[in-house]
Amino acid sequence: MSKVIIYSTPTCVYCKMAKALFKEKGVEFEEKDVATNLEARKEMVDKSGQLGVPVIDVGGKIVVGFDKRYLMELLGLK
């Protein structure tokens, strides 16, 4: 399975929804809190051109926002 990184903030509802989906489906992920980690924030902006969260990196493919259908497709899940 592809490596998954989620760039998020503690108060982001869509970030929580994405993380809940990953946990429900048994997808391992690395979480980077861009509210406190300036290096992660720069990395997120470099990858996506966005300041909004979540930004989710699935094996190098960038998903901005919580697009459940696309995430499931990228992860090969049903």
pLDDT in tens, 13-31: 999 999 999 999 999 999 9
Range of the structural domain that residue 45 is part of: 4-75
* Cβ proximity of 32 and 44 under 8 Å: yes
pLDDT in tens, 46-63: 999 999 999 999 999 999
Residue 69 has which token pair? Answer: 């259908």
Q: What is the pLDDT of residue 1?
A: 66
DSSP 21: H
Helix, strand, coil percent values for the chain (each to nearest 5) = 40, 20, 35
Q: What is the CATH number of the domain that holds 32?
A: 3.40.30.10
Percent of the chain with pLDDT over 70: 99
Provide the domain count of the chain.
Answer: 1
How many angstroms separate the CA atoms of 48 and 32, rounded? 14
pLDDT reported for residue 44 = 98
Q: Global pTM?
A: 0.94
